[in-house]
Chains A and B, each alone.
Chain A
Amino acid sequence: MPPKRLIFAFLIYAILSGPIARGLSDGLNLNFLATLVVLQSSTLMLMLWLAQKRGWWDAVDTSTITEDSLQKILRNMLAGLAVFLSGLILTIRFGSDLRVSLLASGLTIAGGGWLLHATSRYLVWFAATQQNPALMDERMRANQRISEKWAFVGCVNTAVILGFIDFNGWVPLSGATVGFSTAIAGILAGLFSQYFLEWKDG
């Protein structure tokens, strides 16, 4: 279980995400949103720096983490994200049908819970790497660098494709749609490539 201060810092991070998401959907002032994003990113950076400096990671129980845990955690994150996004798309697409809407909401909540659990396990895994450097050795760092590149490629490609679609007027897209899609594509590409590389080395 991560220490309380770490949970508190993540809560601040999550709470700041709410107004950003709400602002994106309501089309709020861009300056206001940019300030929130900067605040949110600063909180995350400060939290990670403090966790490193104060040795909070050492207080985390990492006895359940083995060297094969990362692959399993990444698989769960991908699966959770896939279920979450499926539920979200179904909710938006078939929101008018009550039964489908209920099923889709259930899927979204289940996927979100799955993703949250996997993310908390990822944090525990990160804490384990601070206690045992062998869990994050040079091969895994090399894999991480490759997956960061794939995440960047995913972001750029998605932004270019969506920008091209909007530029040609095929489908009118808002900046929020492009930004959200780019972020999701980057996360998916990064997670999937890291999972694939770990699986390949397995």
Chain B
Amino acid sequence: MPEGLSNTLREHRQHRKMTQAQLAEAVSVSRKTINTIENGVFTPSTILALKLARVFDCTVEDLFILE
């Protein structure tokens, strides 16, 4: 993850009681991809970020924070 970029994906997912596999299926990616985003290893594309925001019914800025 680039310096200063963090995310609240895990918190949002756990709040919705979703597993990584369920979230992965909802946005058509693999479970590993969700895991790497949550751990800050992989930065998703704008399209994927928007898809994730749509699943959680929030904005991209709610999920990804530039510190």
Q: Residues on A close to B: CB < 8 A?
A: 67, 133-135, 137-140, 142, 198, 200-202
Contacts and interface: CB of A to CB of B under 8 A. Distances in A.
Contacts of B29: 134, 137-139
A12 B60 CA distance: 50
28 contacts: A67-B30, A67-B32, A133-B28, A134-B24, A134-B25, A134-B28, A134-B29, A134-B30, A135-B30, A137-B29, A137-B30, A137-B33, A138-B29, A138-B33, A138-B44, A138-B45, A138-B48, A139-B29, A139-B32, A139-B33, A139-B36, A140-B33, A201-B32, A201-B33, A201-B35, A201-B36, A201-B41, A202-B32
Contacts of B54: none
B30 A142 contact: no
The listed residue with most A CB atoms (<10 A of its CB), out of B29, B30, B44, is B30
B31 interface: yes
Interface of B: 24-25, 28-33, 35-36, 41-42, 44-45, 48
A138 B48 CA distance: 9
Given A134-B24, A134-B25, A201-B36, A139 B42 contact: yes
Given A138-B48, A139-B33, A201-B41, 8 more contacts: A67-B30, A133-B28, A134-B25, A138-B44, A139-B32, A142-B42, A201-B33, A201-B35
A202 B30 CA distance: 11
A53 B10 CA distance: 40
A139 B36 CA distance: 9
Nearest to B32: A201
Scoring A135, A138, A202 by chain B CB atoms within 10 A of each residue's CB, the highest score goes to: A138
**Listed residue (A67, A137, A198) with the most chain B CB atoms within 10 angstroms of its CB:** A137
B30 A139 contact: yes
Contacts of B35: 201
